[in-house]
């Protein structure tokens, strides 16, 4: 765990088997049994997936932290990004990919999103470091997760967002897939409503932001977000598997925007 890109992923174990009871603390802070709580609270399809103790503990921690979030960056979003990251990692071809690093970054990628922390871009990496340090995760792994979190975010249509590792590529792709399609449409309007933005204002044209600072300061109507970001994400994906998954989502989103405008203008 935590070596350079290309290292063999760590051995896996099944969290629900007796061996996991030895690897995980018996009780969660607050006195409730951790394993029974995980079995009850975390959906069974992934509870029965093999995962290392730190991934299981991180999933439970993040679920608790984001279970009541209502702006589209909630636990179900993080869960989907985690699961798609696993899928993309399994289909990865090329230099070795550290599965545990990718999964930890997926689970922690929104732990302190700059959008909810005054534009502080380092809030997320700092919070991820604090959590991983509390779990005695090796420094090499912590640093890699921090870097992936820095690289995940979209920063404006005119700003390149390269990745430095295969782990960052699959996490960024998974996060962007969750921003398009039916879920992406719902999340966009959930966030816009949370920020008190109008759905659409024809008098406010979309902007191709040339730098991250201007992108962060945008208060545009929600529909503009489709032209300024969402409709372009398909062409910024790194992995063949992600591009394949994006095709139907892109079609749905384009059809949604066309129907929205037709209804807005009284044509449909």
Give tens-digit pLDDT for 52-90. Answer: 999 999 999 999 888 877 777 889 999 999 999 999 999
Query: CA-CA distances (angstroms) from residue 242 to 31, 175, 233, 256?
Result: 41, 10, 11, 21
Tell me how many degrees the CA angle 127-138-16 measures, rounded to the nearest 5: 85
Rounded Cα distance between 176 and 81, Å, is 9
Cα angle vertex 22, ends 19, 23, to 5°?
90
pLDDT in tens, 122-147: 888 999 999 999 999 999 999 999 99
* H helices present in the chain, as ranges: 18-23, 34-41, 44-47, 53-66, 75-90, 99-108, 123-134, 139-152, 166-177, 181-194, 212-216, 222-228, 240-264
Q: Which of 66, 16, 14 is nearest to 39 (CA)?
A: 16
Higher pLDDT residue, 136 or 268? 136
SS3 of residue 9 by DSSP: coil
What is the spatial distance between Cα 127 and Cα 173, in angstroms, rounded to a whole number? Answer: 22
């Amino acid at each position: 765990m935590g070596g350079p890109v290309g290292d063999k992923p760590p051995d896996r174990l099944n969290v629900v088997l007796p061996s996991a009871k030895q690897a995980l603390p018996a009780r969660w802070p607050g006195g409730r049994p951790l394993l029974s709580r995980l079995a009850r609270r975390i959906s069974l399809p992934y509870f029965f997936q093999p995962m290392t103790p730190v991934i299981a503990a991180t999933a439970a921690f993040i679920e608790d932290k984001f279970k009541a979030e209502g702006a589209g960056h909630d636990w179900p979003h993080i869960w989907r990004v985690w699961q798609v990251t696993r899928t993309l990692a399994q289909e990865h071809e090329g230099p070795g990919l550290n599965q545990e690093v990718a999964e930890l970054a997926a689970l922690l990628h929104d732990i302190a999103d700059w959008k909810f922390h005054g534009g502080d871009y380092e809030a997320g990496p700092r919070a991820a470091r604090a959590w991983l340090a509390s779990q005695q995760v090796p420094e090499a792994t912590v640093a890699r997760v921090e870097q992936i979190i820095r690289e995940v975010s979209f920063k404006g249509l005119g700003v390149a967002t390269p990745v430095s590792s295969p782990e960052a590529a699959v996490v960024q792709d998974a996060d962007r897939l969750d921003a398009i399609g039916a879920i992406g449409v719902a999340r966009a309007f959930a966030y816009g409503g949370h920020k008190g933005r109008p759905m659409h204002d024809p008098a406010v044209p979309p902007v191709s932001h040339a730098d991250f600072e201007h992108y962060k300061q945008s208060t545009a109507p929600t529909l503009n977000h489709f032209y300024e970001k969402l409709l372009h994400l398909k062409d910024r994906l790194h992995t063949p598997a992600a591009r394949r998954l994006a095709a139907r989502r892109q079609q749905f989103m384009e059809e949604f925007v066309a129907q929205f405008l037709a209804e807005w203008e009284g044509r449909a």
